[in-house]
Structure 1
């Protein structure tokens, strides 16, 4: 069943009537909820702290978001979710509406549902729970989730809050929990969990639209006397007598600081009981955010993939502060934000520095300084140093490199104001020049990370070389020219792992000899541990985003680079048995489902054969994405998979975001109009000789012929018109 049929956009309420220019109607949120996309279908607002969504399962890799399209039952509706990650956490404060005897075990309280009775659109989700006959509707504000449950007539209706619910289904991972029943309409509390984000804390204030007949606390599934409990494994059951068609609303504020903060968020954002107003405002927020790009095409499938992708690019990073301006810092302390700024969580930086953050510099420039300043604050406060993969103010240390550096560097190079370059350089200099972090000491000593010293050594060497380039740019912005030049020189360290005999980046021992026997598709060559990160020599050899011309020279010239790219895309796709499942979407040894491959097709530009880039890019756009639940190769990864499609479909992509240039690709649409800030628009018009024409014959910019295969960001940010002539 196609996603466009499976999740129909049923008639909007009058308050959310879709206008002709409302592109939210093209968002098919089910895309990515099947296969290995790991996305969720529930309600949120752009970059919102709350992601109120159904959970269908908590065990197994494909439940990283709590939901999978193939499941037939729903456990309930929790308030926090990750979009498309390959690791799992969150799923806080599960709400379970039921009728009948109280059931405390997930295997007993889960309820069947059908996709035919499920509606998902930006800012709204609904489903009919078959076992109870309850109609569930969800919407959200920035920091609050709002539920509306329509009950049948029943003397045994319940709304349960399961505080033990979390990914992996192991309640022992709850460090502590507490709840307080405040009268017959309010429950407050919080918990700490020990999963991917170790020791994170989250608090809530939950209110019912009418008094419950009674509210009962359970600890370890046994009744607890009184109105409070601090046991780690808690559940709260509110009992109601309902009439047929009675609607009971639940609204929940969350906070990373305290129940008082959660209550303040609730009172500020949802002081009423008007569900339709909440969903109308959520819809308006999405209409405005997604309307930043208007595309024109007769191909509805392309539009659906594009706008769903654009939607996915706005699900992370997520807001993580209170309306009071307070936030939980990476140091475990409560801080006050500078006026006008926000705090954020969920930075999937190893993925998103590549295309997601560059996309923001073009269509959401007002957010860029806020996000970058957040990263700098986190670096200053975190015991772990500069951000790697921060989640709810704890560092997960997930993935290699320290790719908050290119996000900060890109913003500085592109001239964004309100960012303290000297403060940024102070924290990133420490990581680059001082810290012995995951092989950095060896990297500085040898010019590469030996495979007998550190795991994932080849990938770490390449990522540190790229981060050197980024920190060099930060140093330059801070006025540290000498150290900038030193770091720029060090960014060429990738050359130290290039084996001219085999033509690959490969692991090397401390004494300088190559690890072997060598197989370019292997993730482990040294046999001691993995030498590459979710990758192998085929892909890692092209991980030179900051110096593609230098890579071509190293290989023997542009023709050698072209041949190596041809070989990559035509190689046998066989992967070793220890390759992670993230490595998906294979074309030869190119793996579109994993981020290190994302810039590679554009390297044909640097080989002097842009037509090969354009043919390959058009093929990837057509084959790696679809408008179905399993229409995504690999994990969505907090918007990076989608950002690749959004930018590539527009005809531009940043091979090196820190360079402040955009590489020319092949536009998919007849016309695209981008709002680039300050009332300016950038129009990209495509004139084709035929519908499937993918080769760029010529380009004009503001009426003048455009030479070369890049655009300067500063030029595009001023607005204007690009015209592609395609054959």
Structure 2
């Protein structure tokens, strides 16, 4: 790589330092003055160790994020400098950046989106991302803002966003400068794009996205309009062409040779295409580029852009993003704890609010579920990116408590998906069903939301949608393809054609139990009875010789060759999806008393659960395990073990810094677990509006409730005698009265005002 001379770098660094000082003063983002919640957020947490988060700016529930792309495919389509599996456009240990992508996913386990890339360059024009990449330094990120210094080109790059648009600002050295718009580069498994140059300051087009987790039907376009703050001196397209046998003059796609179009400005389409805009800049000259996107049309992308960024006002846009983040994060105020505790907590809350995100344009249009060519119109938020197998456990219950209006909007979005596509979503991505993971998770979210008192949606339509997936025969059932056998025998058998039988059935049990609780609340007694009985089918899998769940054959006998630890680290496994029997055998949140009896009583249950933790059989990053640390609370006198184990998990698996998450955040699921655990309560049983308690990390937690949904203004959780050693609850109070139980209802939580925990360093047995 060639680098600019030292004097130019020094001047740019000096300009950068002065700008950062001024910006922080204007925006009020300096650590010295900030006690605001947003000031504790570190967007780099989770950007390594497969956390799959990103440091680029995004608004709460925002459609657009501007993310430095550093998982550049090298020769042979392998990712360079990565930790092997990249489901996100940014991995912190990587060193080479090739642009800023504008549509991205946070914390997911499969690659997609990470596209519509802008890349500034200096010197000779290059359009091959394998050649123009650069190292970067002086990297900073905070809510609504990102910056880094592109070493090879001596360019300072900055980015911020609105809800549906992004804007980046590049401070150039003197000389020839270029800004590339690359549509052939990104994370998505799909190729194909279209571009049209509108003028020397504007370009429009679309990029095909999808095939998330290898589902060939989950494909959709994203449309964009990009505007530059000044006209280009020169501009054009590029296209990477396949070599044609027998042609003397041809372009070789395997050698990295690209055809440059210098005097063609109309339409361009293909798989590896892009556009370049060139300038002659003075030292310190700044050029801004703003991009609006839409999942409906180019016209809508332009309307979004003009509605949310009518001009070029980078600093004001960044300031507005900061204010919005601070507003949303201020829903919870914490006092006490260490600086690291506050950073972990507010970064987790920040990650919670990225997905699901809005899909509709400013005019209310959005693509209908499974019918992207049909455009519906809504006067409320339509949400997308529903990773429901993950999020039903912690994200949606927490949103119901902290952001009930948004949670109701998500419930309504799910019901609209049912009306448009005929089925509730399972893992929905931009109005396409990806069919990722197990179970029937939408039932759990809908029932749980209603039972927590958020009832402002069409419950009869919801109930009909839930019963459809729960009762439709296999041949016509898009959610439960094993439903015929399951309805008759209440379990799913292991067969040579399907080996995730136990984990699939466990998810159905939680879904059916949740639906049974809703049926009970609605007075549907027969449905309640049938569904509740079905949810107890897990007992068929219990093998008393192991004290664990074991796959069962169609004839009712246990699968031979059972290995209870098989499945560690994504090894092939019989009966379980991405985990061993140990990592699923306690995942019976709807009937823990029944499981305790199966395991031989309370003493043996405690021994088995301790074995899971002591012999490294517990996996914090695997969703079915998330409730395990709290399960000791089901045995009277053993609750101290939950207090110890929850605190151990907080300290062992969650940290500040890029490796601060225990694997994929799964669109906020791990972050929600941390938020709950640090506050001292957790929704242990989906479908039951009940929390189990543990010792809070902070001296005081104030939760500000939404008065349009809750009567209380706030909940205060106060901790007495709180130190890093004092992790054991000695006594508890609820509104000044003794609290002698380790489970409270959602109604108790939101109607009481003051919870007090007295801690000590000795377990209370």
Tell me if the contact between 1:160 and 1:237 (Cα under 8 Å) persists in the aligned partners.
Answer: yes
C-alpha RMSD of matched pairs (Å): 2.0
Say if 2:706 is the partner of 1:677: yes
| CA apart distance, 1:296 | 1.0
| CA apart distance, 1:614 | 0.6
- In 2, distance between residues paired with 1:603 and 1:658? 17
| CA apart distance, 1:244 | 1.3
Say if 2:197 is the partner of 1:181: yes
1:142-541 map, 5 Å: 142-154=163-175, 156-167=176-187, 173-174=190-191, 176-196=192-212, 198-220=218-240, 221-224=258-261, 225-332=264-371, 333-339=373-379, 341-382=380-421, 385-436=423-474, 437-452=480-495, 454-476=498-520, 479-523=523-567, 530-541=574-585
Moved more, 249-258 or 223-232: 223-232
Aligned to 2:756: 723
Tell me if the contact between 2:112 and 2:210 (Cα under 8 Å) persists in the aligned partners.
Answer: no
- In 1, distance between residues paired with 2:754 and 2:35? 21
Q: Which runs of 5+ in 1 are unaligned?
A: 1-7, 572-587
**Change over 3 Å in CA distance of 1:337–1:680 after alignment to 2:** farther
| CA apart distance, 1:204 | 0.5
For 1:167, what is the secondary structure of its paired residue? coil
**Change over 3 Å in CA distance of 1:35–1:10 after alignment to 2:** farther
Say if 2:631 is the partner of 1:603: yes
TM-score norm. by structure 1 comes to 0.92
| CA apart distance, 1:719 | 5.2
Tell me if the contact between 1:408 and 1:474 (Cα under 8 Å) persists in the aligned partners.
Answer: no
| CA apart distance, 1:10 | 6.0
- In 2, distance between residues paired with 1:10 and 1:607? 55
- In 2, distance between residues paired with 1:406 and 1:443? 18
Aligned to 1:46: 60
- In 2, distance between residues paired with 1:245 and 1:467? 59
Tell me if the contact between 1:35 and 1:632 (Cα under 8 Å) persists in the aligned partners.
Answer: yes
| CA apart distance, 1:184 | 1.1
Moved more, 547-556 or 490-499: 547-556
1:543-558 map, 5 Å: 543-558=587-602
Aligned to 2:668: 639
Say if 2:695 is the partner of 1:658: no
Q: Which runs of 5+ in 2 are unaligned?
A: 1-16, 73-78, 241-257, 475-479, 761-765
Q: Once the two structures are superposed, what CA deviation does each residue of 1:564-601 show, in whole Å capped at 9, x if it has no partner?
A: 11121122xxxxxxxxxxxxxxxx20000221110011
Q: Once the two structures are superposed, what CA deviation does each residue of 1:288-334 show, in whole Å capped at 9, x if it has no partner?
A: 11111111114111111111111111111111110101111213243
Aligned to 2:477: none
Tell me if the contact between 1:217 and 1:227 (Cα under 8 Å) persists in the aligned partners.
Answer: no
| CA apart distance, 1:477 | 5.0
TM-score norm. by structure 2 comes to 0.88
For 1:629, what is the secondary structure of its paired residue? coil
- In 2, distance between residues paired with 1:133 and 1:10? 16
- In 2, distance between residues paired with 1:209 and 1:243? 15
| CA apart distance, 1:537 | 0.9
Aligned to 2:47: 33
**Change over 3 Å in CA distance of 1:226–1:477 after alignment to 2:** farther
Tell me if the contact between 1:178 and 1:191 (Cα under 8 Å) persists in the aligned partners.
Answer: yes
Aligned to 1:64: 87
For 1:658, what is the secondary structure of its paired residue? coil
Aligned to 1:702: 735
Aligned to 2:243: none
- 2:25 aligned to which of 9, 14, 30: 14
Tell me if the contact between 1:320 and 1:392 (Cα under 8 Å) persists in the aligned partners.
Answer: yes
- In 2, distance between residues paired with 1:378 and 1:94? 30
Tell me if the contact between 2:551 and 2:574 (Cα under 8 Å) persists in the aligned partners.
Answer: no
For 2:414, what is the secondary structure of its paired residue? helix
Tell me if the contact between 1:438 and 1:454 (Cα under 8 Å) persists in the aligned partners.
Answer: no
Provide runs of 4+ in structure 1 moved above 6 Å.
none
Q: Once the two structures are superposed, what CA deviation does each residue of 1:108-166 show, in whole Å capped at 9, x if it has no partner?
A: 1111112xx01100000001101111110000000000111111111x31111111112
| CA apart distance, 1:442 | 2.4
Aligned to 2:586: 542
- In 1, distance between residues paired with 2:551 and 2:167? 52
| CA apart distance, 1:495 | 1.1
For 1:540, what is the secondary structure of its paired residue? coil
Aligned to 2:114: 91
For 2:140, what is the secondary structure of its paired residue? strand
- In 2, distance between residues paired with 1:370 and 1:693? 41
